[in-house]
Amino acid sequence: VQLVESGGGLVTAGDSLRLSCAASGRTFSWYGMGWFRQAPGKEREFVASINGGNTYYADSVKGRFTISRDNAKNTVYLQMNSLKPEDTAVYYCARRNFGAVQRGSSYDYWGQGTLVTVSS
């Protein structure tokens, strides 16, 4: 399984970005997917997850970010609106295998990450 993120970049506070994560393999729809991020000097943190018909968000992004997926395209998206400087991080998508959606250990495959930089 390979996961490839795209869509990161440099934006100004208040702007929007949409991240994409393209997955290889024919079993994409079987698994939940998640987005995590890691800011410079900080630990990786949960951002959002989609599992079946359910979505989950970190409190810090709730109401601003939306996770979605297109199983026909083997792609999961993260629509990020009203971006803030504190959203600056490398964003990773991951495939959920088993366990709590907020835990990184619940995910077995990870992409290489895409950098999002939000200037004030």
The per-residue pLDDT for range 28-77, each reduced to its tens digit, is 989 999 999 999 999 999 999 999 889 999 999 999 999 999 999 999 99
At residue 68, φ and ψ (nearest 5 deg) are -150, 170
Give, as one character, the DSSP assignment of residue 55: E
Give 40's DSSP letter. T
CB–CB of 106/100 below 8 Å? yes
How far apart CA 54 and CA 96 sit, in angstroms, is 13
Mean pLDDT in residue range 82-108: 96
Spatial distance between the Cα atoms of 70 and 76, rounded to a whole number of angstroms: 6
Pairing of strands 54-57, 45-51: antiparallel
Burial class (CB in 10 A: 0-12, 13-18, 19+), 24: exposed
**How confident is the model at residue 90, as a pLDDT?**
98
